[in-house]
Amino acid sequence: MAWLVALLVMVQVMPELEGFFQQVAPDSRAVIYRRDDFFTLLGSHVAIVGAASLIAIVAGVGAAIMVTRPWGRDFLPLVAQLASMGQTFPPVAVLALSVPLLGFGTEPTVVALVLYGLLPIVRNTLVGLQDIDVAVLEAARGMGMSDRQVLWQVELPLAFKVIVAGIRTSVTINIATAAIGSTIGAKTLGDPIIAGIVNGNTAYILQGAILIALLALCVDSAFERLVRRL
């Protein structure tokens, strides 16, 4: 909650800190990024990361569940390899390849973030499901549970903390990575950073970096509170 308050306060007061940023970039005529409202950029950034994370969670958890079933175990090496390739392939390259197909803006950014965020989710889901004691599963089946009931009532609850840890890592990474979407026209908190790099304006870069860092800390703190409650 404290990080959320800090984020919202910083978004609100950022335009009032012109004196401070003038010292950071004394050679710049304009030191407060005003092309877009910071609240607008924050909302768009959160929406893009949220959409990409939701897709990655559904795909990653679903794929991991599939390859831990008897009928899907043959696909385990393929799923693990694809997830690893998604994170080792540079997001900038994904953007460059996606733009001719999807155009500029949000869609290529979401695709890049989905690919980049899959590995922690898939890896942790696999670890969580595979580390469950076989005796526990046998006991559940001995009580008359179906395979679906064992999955939803035993496996997923026992693996939930590990899965959430993977989701936490994925989302936190993507909050920072989403800034590159500004290079192809997506509205994110990377806009001030890109504008600062282009214009040699350190103040712009610092404004974007501060807000992205606070957002990442806010989300990470929320996941920590969730894990504690679990």
Domain boundaries, the chain: 37-229
The dihedral sign for the CA sequence 178, 182, 187, 188: positive
- Asked whether the beta carbons of 120 and 164 are under 8 A apart, the reply is no
DSSP label at residue 179: G
CA 126/CA 108 separation, integer angstroms = 28
Per-residue pLDDT at 121: 94
Per-residue pLDDT at 215: 94
CA 17/CA 151 separation, integer angstroms = 53
Closest alpha carbon to 24 in 209, 215, 212: 209
pTM: 0.88
CA 221/CA 8 separation, integer angstroms = 15
Cα 185–chain centre separation = 19
Residue type, 186: A
Average pLDDT of adjacent 10-residue blocks, the chain of 230 residues: 81 81 78 86 94 94 90 82 74 76 83 88 91 87 86 90 92 90 88 90 91 93 84
CA 6/CA 2 separation, integer angstroms = 6
CA 168/CA 230 separation, integer angstroms = 14
* From the candidate CATH numbers 2.160.10.10, 3.20.20.140, 3.90.1010.10, 1.10.3720.10, the one assigned to the domain spanning 37-229: 1.10.3720.10
Closest alpha carbon to 42 in 73, 6, 66: 6
Per-residue pLDDT at 226: 82
Segment 122-138, tens digit of pLDDT: 999 999 988 888 888 88
